[in-house]
Amino acid sequence: MNTYWKIEQLTRRASDGGVTAVHWRLFGEEGEFRASLYGEFRTNPDPSSPDFIPFDNLSEAEVINWITSTLREGRMNDFIADLTVQIEQQKKSGDLRQAPLGVSHEHTRQTFGVGDAHCYGYVVHDFNVDGGRHDSWIV
């Protein structure tokens, strides 16, 4: 099974850019079958710490590292087991998770503002057979 992480939303303090919450999703794919897990990782950033990274300087890889480096031993194996169960259930039922006929999805990470805070998420660009496009936020 191939797995990959996506950061769906960050919450930050307006005063110093410290990220206080990370909303993440872990995806598993096996052939045509896909599964996902969703979680929230809370932080209490200290701007005086030499390890402090303000929101504007963060990369997605650094945020994913926060999550993976704090997982208790064996937790990633638990995640893989949960994804495997979901995929096996899909295989038994024959149901595939995919876009409606004639629609493909492209994900683009974008930054957007929410009040005094800035978050980032993914925009799903749905391209229809007739060439039309509809954008939806995944946050």
Q: What pLDDT was estimated at residue 98?
A: 58
How much is the pLDDT for 95? 72
Residue 45, pLDDT score? 93
Tell whether 139 is covered by a domain: no
| 135 located within any domain | no
What string of DSSP letters covers 21-79? EEEEEEEEEETTEEEEEEEEEE----TTSTT---GGG--HHHHHHHHHHHSPTTHHHHH
- The answer to whether residue 112 sits within a structural domain is no
Confirm whether 55 is domain-assigned.
Answer: yes
In a domain, 119, yes or no: no
Residue 129 placed within a domain: no
Q: Quick check: is 11 in a domain? A: yes
Backbone angles phi, psi at 30, to 5 degrees: -140, 105
C-beta separation of 119 from 23 below 8 A: no
Residue from 104, 98, 97, 107 nearest 139 by CA: 107
Phi-psi region of 104 (alpha: psi -120 to 50; beta: other; left: phi over 0): beta
Total of domains in the chain: 1
Is this structure's pTM higher than 0.75?
no
Model pLDDT, residue 133:
36
Q: Summarize pLDDT for 23-49 with one digit per residue, the tens.
A: 999 999 998 889 999 999 898 999 999
Question: Does residue 117 sit within a domain?
Answer: no
Which contacts of 114-118 are long-range, i.e. CB under 8 A and separated by 24 or more positions?
Answer: 116/14, 117/11, 117/12, 117/13, 117/14, 118/12, 118/55
Helix ranges, the chain (H): 60-70, 75-93
Place of tokens 């969703």: 38
More confident site: 128 or 59? 59
Q: 21: domain range?
A: 2-98
Under 8 Å CB-to-CB from 130, ≥6 apart: which residues? Answer: none
